[in-house]
């Protein structure tokens, strides 16, 4: 059931900050505009973008994170909205610094003077779940101290109850929502955002990322001071860099922003395919640039709370889809979706291939610099949805990160050719994972097992055709039985609904008739008739 209070919070925020004016822009030529307050009320003085940002801040952490993600998509949003929402990445209003100091002393069980030689009261940065204070350790090391907001967990649970209720309702009434596993997606997102509240896990993620890129020029992760890190407090090395969104400073210092944009794509693919451990919250507020050498700028990553991993099967599926798209092999994309179970086995591959080609072919009519990863994914899923594709929840983080990386790259270099950067990487990865050398190595690794199975090979080959035929027959029979059961279940549901509907009508009719005759009834016959109708209605209503 959808909780009422969070729904009213959203409606209240929409009215308080007059978000109806934004909606009215979308339905300006539609009859729905007559139901919007913006049609009758005076226009607010502040801009729509400012009011949207204020509403998201008012609603809390989950909505602020949504705004952060939106701000990276300048290809989807007007510049005014993108600029305003970008301030959510590190300029969310901070909470009282006294509360932050009390929390640090309580968590570390010592007064500040015994932990730091200096601790800045004013927050260095403030985000949706936490804020950061600059400090200096007793040994002179410059650090930042991250402190979780005191009301963050309560706000997340409150908002997620509403979102879960909406997801359950949609799954009950929508086949598309069921195929998208909306409840599972929301549950995974809740687990991910709650994990961000555990700063010990963020410390472990930061350390692992630091180790993965220890010998790389692409990315740097700060050192974690684990001995003074707890669930609500994280102490990190203070990094010196330029925010990646500060293009004016980067250009003034002579940074090679085109190389930086290209390195962003390389960093993403390295994390996803080489390390299988990717930063899943790569909005500009979490990324800085080291311009010690302006001609070879590199990234500095902070806020490592949210990370994702993929199974070997999903890694391979995504890589082969990307390569097939590069090669315009739409038949391969269709086969991959069926083989991996993303669409039902009984789907007609030829029809699926034609639909994919129809939706994806227009990409190649544009310059490569205008091809969008995000739009490619959207079109691909649109095609597959018509064939009852089921989205795997574990890929939601990857999709979100891909969109963020694309938005970041386009912001640095509007002419960034994502494909020329990605294709050599993917070709190399596939060759490394599935090339001849890898096949030979795998054969040698499993040589003892292969030798043991060789004597049975002739028999297996001789009986394989008959075995496959039997399995196909059994699968077809089971599929037929499942369809029959589904049909019976739908009939039972319709009959149950009909019984309840008739029961309500009869019971309602009895009440109405009783009121019309104004009890006591005029005759014994009328009284008996009404009683019989009412009892029948009650039986229908309560029947299973």
List, by residue number, the catalytic residues.
281
Q: Which tokens sit at 438?
A: 């890898």
Phi (first) and psi of residue 540, to 5 degrees: -60, -40
Count CB atoms within 10 A of the CB of residue 45: 7
Rg of the chain's alpha carbons, rounded to an integer? 30
**CA dist., res. 357 & res. 333, Å (int):** 10
Closest among 250, 274, 272 to 260, alpha carbons compared: 250
**Look-up: residue for tokens 């959203």?**
10
Per-residue tokens: 292: 């010690």
End-to-end CA, the chain: 22
Backbone angles phi, psi at 418, to 5 degrees: -60, -35
C-alpha triplet 373, 208, 135: angle, nearest 5°: 105
Q: Which contiguous run of DSSP H or E holds residue 411?
A: helix 396-412
Buried b (16+ CB within 10 A) or exposed e, 253-272: eebbbebbbbbbbbbbbbbb
Which residues have CB under 8 Å from 194's CB, separation 6+?
153, 156
Whether 509 contacts 531, CB under 8 Å:
no
From the list 253, 249, 259, 294, the residue with the least C-alpha distance to 413 is 259
- Tell how strand 130-137 and strand 142-148 pair up: antiparallel
CB environment 451-483: b (16+ within 10 A), e (fewer) = eeeeeeeeeeeeeeeeeeeeeeeeeeeeeeeee
């Amino acid at each position: 059931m959808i909780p009422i209070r969070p729904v009213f919070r959203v409606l209240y925020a929409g009215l308080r900050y007059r978000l109806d004016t934004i909606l009215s822009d979308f339905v300006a030529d539609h009859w729905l505009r007559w139901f919007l307050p913006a049609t009758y009320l005076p226009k607010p003085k502040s801009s729509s973008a400012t009011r949207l940002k204020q509403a998201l801040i008012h609603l809390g952490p989950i909505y602020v994170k949504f705004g952060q993600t939106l701000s990276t998509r300048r290809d989807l949003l007007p510049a005014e909205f993108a600029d305003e929402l970008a301030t959510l990445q590190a300029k969310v209003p901070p909470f009282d610094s006294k509360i932050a100091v009390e929390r640090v002393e309580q968590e570390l069980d010592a007064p500040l003077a015994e932990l730091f030689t200096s601790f800045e009261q004013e927050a260095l940065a403030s985000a949706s779940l936490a804020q950061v204070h600059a400090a200096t350790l007793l040994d002179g090391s410059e650090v930042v101290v991250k402190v979780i907001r005191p009301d963050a967990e309560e706000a997340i649970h409150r908002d997620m109850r509403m979102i879960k209720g909406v997801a359950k309702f949609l799954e009950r009434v929508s086949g598309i929502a069921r195929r998208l596993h909306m409840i599972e997606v929301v549950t995974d997102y809740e687990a991910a955002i709650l994990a961000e509240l555990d700063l010990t896990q963020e410390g472990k993620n930061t350390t692992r990322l630091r180790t993965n890129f220890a010998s790389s020029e692409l990315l740097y992760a700060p050192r974690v001071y684990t001995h003074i890190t707890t669930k609500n407090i994280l102490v990190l090395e203070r990094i010196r860099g330029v925010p990646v969104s500060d293009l004016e400073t980067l250009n003034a210092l002579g940074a090679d922003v085109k190389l930086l944009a290209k390195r962003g794509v390389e960093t993403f693919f390295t994390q996803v395919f080489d390390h299988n451990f990717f930063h899943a919250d790569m909005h500009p507020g979490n990324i800085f640039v080291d311009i010690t050498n302006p001609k070879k700028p590199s990234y500095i990553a902070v806020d490592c709370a949210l990370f994702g991993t993929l199974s070997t099967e999903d890694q391979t599926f995504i890589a082969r889809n990307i390569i097939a798209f590069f090669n315009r092999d739409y038949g391969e994309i269709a086969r991959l979706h069926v083989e991996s179970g993303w669409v039902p086995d009984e789907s007609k591959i030829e029809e699926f291939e034609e639909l994919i080609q129809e939706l994806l072919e227009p990409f190649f009519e544009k310059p490569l610099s205008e091809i969008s990863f995000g739009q490619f994914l959207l079109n691909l899923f649109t095609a597959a949805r018509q064939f009852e594709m089921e989205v795997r929840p574990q890929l939601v983080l990857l999709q979100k990160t891909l969109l963020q990386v694309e938005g970041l790259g386009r912001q640095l270099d509007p002419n960034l050719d994502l494909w020329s950067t990605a294709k050599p990487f993917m070709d190399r990865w596939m060759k490394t994972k599935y090339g001849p050398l890898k096949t030979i190595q795998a054969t040698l690794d499993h040589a003892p097992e292969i030798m043991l199975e060789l004597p049975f090979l002739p028999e297996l080959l001789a009986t394989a055709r008959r075995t496959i035929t039997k399995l196909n027959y059994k699968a077809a029979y089971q599929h037929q039985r499942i369809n029959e059961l589904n049909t019976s279940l739908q009939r039972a549901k319709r009959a149950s609904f009909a019984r309840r509907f008739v029961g309500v009508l009869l019971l309602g009719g009895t009440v109405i008739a009783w009121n019309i005759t104004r009890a006591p009834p005029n005759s014994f016959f009328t009284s008996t008739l009404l009683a019989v109708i009412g009892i029948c209605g009650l039986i229908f209503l309560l029947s299973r």
